[in-house]
Amino acid sequence: MVLAVLAAPSPVAAQEVAQGVAQGVAQGVALRTRLAIPVLYGVDAVHGHANLAGAVVFPHNVGLGAAANPELVEAIARATAREMVATGVTWNYAPVLAVPRDVRWGRTYEGYGEDPELVTRLAVAALQGLQGDDLAAPDTVLATPKHFVGDGATAFGTSPLAGGLLDRGDAPIDEATLRRVHLAPYVAAVAHGARSVMVSFSSWQGVPMHAHAYLIQDVLRGELGFTGFVLSDWAGVDEVAADYDDAVVASVNAGIDLNMVPYDAERFLASLRRAVERGDVSRARIDEAVAAILRVKFELGLFDRLYGDPALQAEVGSDAHRALARDAVAQTLVLLKNDAGALPLRPDSVQTVLVTGSGADSIGVQSGGWTIEWQGSTASLTPGTTLLEGLEAGFGGGTTLRHGPRGRFTGDDGQPLRGDVGIAVVAEPPYAEWFGDSADLALPARDRALVRSLREQVDTLVVVVLSGRPVVLDGVLEVADAVVADVVRVAADGLGAGIDASDAALREWFSVGPTPAIPAGSDRGVLAWNFAAPAARFAPMRAGEVATLRFTLRLRDPSGAEATHDVVVAIDGADRPGTPADP
């Protein structure tokens, strides 16, 4: 049995990572062992090689789902792989194949969307971008579809974590739903060359996935024909049973080949040795796990390319990759509202523009979680151009632009300043995993207050929403002239740099450009929604209860025509006992 190490390189130069981490430490130690088997070193490069300061940070998967462009996803994965290989890292814990069915889940933004067909198409594209046509090629990395399986189906209130609501909870769905919605992307991923699969922290019908022999052995390996290796999530084995030895036995026998043990490797090894000596885990099972891991290492060409490719270091943070990020962000934006020709902005006009909001001048807020740090940060931990900086560069000399982080704008005479255009960039703070579980999906109260305040000071109000999922826009949608939803956590050098006068993207960005060509049946046809009774949507339901939801829905059809509908939906809790009302 082999241990995995979750790698989170410090924010240092690419060459230091390549030499100091991969070559100087990990492989150096491995090559001094008896068999000299090289280390397979992995990172969570889930939206670019974002553990590394200076690497390009791409939109999170939920934004790429809005773009619905497999070619774009494959290109992003290809760029990510090359930046990883440049730093000596050849294993990516991505892509996420979750099909989130409750957007209150803190990992919603890691999934491409709630449509399994869309998730499948984009996940396969990501897999192909990371692994290429030949896994052994010098610029490819091993992909890891995750988290197997049903992590997007957990019921509200089942999270075992303090402060958690859905993350790592239990999915009470039947097997037919599990297969049709949540297993479907894995069927395609295995068919398209997946060689490692990470198991979910969550449970299905009360059984932890890390101990689910039926789904891992019978379904993944047996039915799907998966012959790569199965790995645990971060200390995932620890949560299988109260007794650690029992947890190790259950997970290994269930089919976990490689265990991610972040803190106490010797404890795990001692437990596994005892299990083998007692006969609780057979030697044949150990041989099976080791063979699977070695097989993939050989397929990856790891024995021949131990240290990545330093020649690719010039591509880390390169102009070409940043241009790809800007294009990706432009494709992910969704225009929710545009009244009275508020957009596109007019960069060459003589005007006063007032900018406020928590996301206006923060690379960290733009990037979200899994960026340099696990939870992300509101600080600028990696280079990039903020939206404010992009606006400053994009507007012409006739524009007076003022930034007021607290929404206070005064002229030279000390009197309140009136603006022609106001831009409020409201945002969820960065988060990851259960820290992002939310009971109400509300934007920060401070941002909502800034929108109201700015409305009184400007003729035209544009609101940009930076979030990891749809959020409640009551009090925002009504007062704004235009709303641009960026449910992505944009690229660190995407949103801001995308509004750079040098490529005239200012006109393209805040325009209807990303939205007219909407595929029939696409979620992008939903322009706006406003629940008359939002509390009803978020109240947990029990079997036998019925919730009636009333809301308005603005739609745009493939021809570009818009219509507003009043919708009433009755939901019977018996259909989804223990889960939230979900129109």
The pLDDT, as a whole number, for residue 411 is: 87
Cβ 149 vs Cβ 183: under 8 Å: yes
Cβ 68 vs Cβ 524: under 8 Å: yes
- Flag the least confident range among 279-288, 367-376, 470-479, 510-519: 510-519
Q: Determine the average pLDDT of the residues in 389-393.
A: 88
Annotated catalytic residues are 233, 433
The pLDDT, as a whole number, for residue 199 is: 98
Please give the backbone phi and psi of residue 546, each rounded to the nearest 5 degrees, phi first. -125, 130
Partnered with residue 483 across adjacent β-strands are 337, 463
Please state the three-class secondary structure of 458-523 as a single string. EEEEEEEEECCCCCECCCCCCCCCEEEEECCCCCCCCCCHHHCHHHCHHHHHCCCCCCCCCCCCCH
The pLDDT, as a whole number, for residue 25 is: 72
Q: Is the pLDDT of residue 504 over 50?
A: no
Helices (H), ranges, 395-466: 445-455
Q: Determine the average pLDDT of the residues in 356-370.
A: 94
Cβ 52 vs Cβ 316: under 8 Å: yes
d(Cα 384, Cα 492) in Å, to the nearest integer?
5
Other residues' Cβ atoms within 10 Å of the Cβ of residue 501: 16
- Closest by CA position to 346, among listed 407, 420, 446, 237: 420
- Residue positions counted in the chain: 583
d(Cα 3, Cα 41) in Å, to the nearest integer?
11
Q: Determine the average pLDDT of the residues in 81-93.
A: 95
Cβ neighbours for 380, distance < 8 A, ≥ 6 positions apart: 362, 363, 364, 386
The pLDDT, as a whole number, for residue 94 is: 98
Cβ neighbours for 560, distance < 8 A, ≥ 6 positions apart: 516
Question: Which strands sit side by side in the sheet containing 258-260, from one edge to the other?
Answer: 2-4, 258-260, 229-231, 196-199, 146-148
User: In the structure encoding, which two tokens stand for residue 213, read together?
Assistant: 């022999």
Q: Which amino acid is at 410?
A: T
User: In the structure encoding, which two tokens stand for residue 220, read together?
Assistant: 């993944």
Q: Which amino acid is at 464?
A: V
The pLDDT, as a whole number, for residue 340 is: 87
User: In the structure encoding, which two tokens stand for residue 198, read together?
Assistant: 């990470």
- Closest by CA position to 285, among listed 319, 309, 251, 313: 251
What is the dihedral sign for C-alpha 201, 202, 206, 209? Answer: negative
Cβ 396 vs Cβ 346: under 8 Å: no
Q: Is the pLDDT of residue 355 over 80?
A: yes
- pLDDT band, very low/low/confident/very high, at 126 (cuts 50, 70, 90): very high
Four-CA torsion 546, 552, 554, 557, nearest 10 degrees: 50
Q: Give strand ranges (E) for 273-321.
A: none
Q: Is the pLDDT of residue 252 over 70?
A: yes
Q: Is the pLDDT of residue 503 over 60?
A: no
Partnered with residue 572 across adjacent β-strands are 546
Q: Is the pLDDT of residue 202 over 50?
A: yes
Q: Is the pLDDT of residue 496 over 80?
A: no
d(Cα 490, Cα 362) in Å, to the nearest integer?
11
Helices (H), ranges, 35-115: 61-67, 70-86
| pLDDT (tens digit per residue) in 512-568 | 222 222 222 333 333 333 333 333 333 444 455 554 444 455 554 445 566 555 544
Q: Is the pLDDT of residue 502 over 50?
A: no
| pLDDT (tens digit per residue) in 2-29 | 444 444 333 444 444 443 454 457 788 8
State percent of the chain over pLDDT 90. Answer: 64
User: In the structure encoding, which two tokens stand for residue 489, read together?
Assistant: 């956590």
State percent of the chain over pLDDT 70. Answer: 79
User: In the structure encoding, which two tokens stand for residue 245, read together?
Assistant: 């030895």
Q: Give strand ranges (E) for 287-371.
A: 334-338, 351-356
Partnered with residue 531 across adjacent β-strands are 551
Q: Is the pLDDT of residue 361 over 80?
A: yes
> What average pLDDT does the chain have?
83
User: In the structure encoding, which two tokens stand for residue 173, read together?
Assistant: 């769905």
Residue 9, preceding bond cis, omega within 30 degrees?
Answer: no
Q: Determine the average pLDDT of the residues in 280-302.
A: 97
Q: Determine the average pLDDT of the residues in 349-362.
A: 96
| pLDDT (tens digit per residue) in 413-465 | 888 999 999 999 999 999 999 999 999 899 999 999 999 999 999 999 999 99
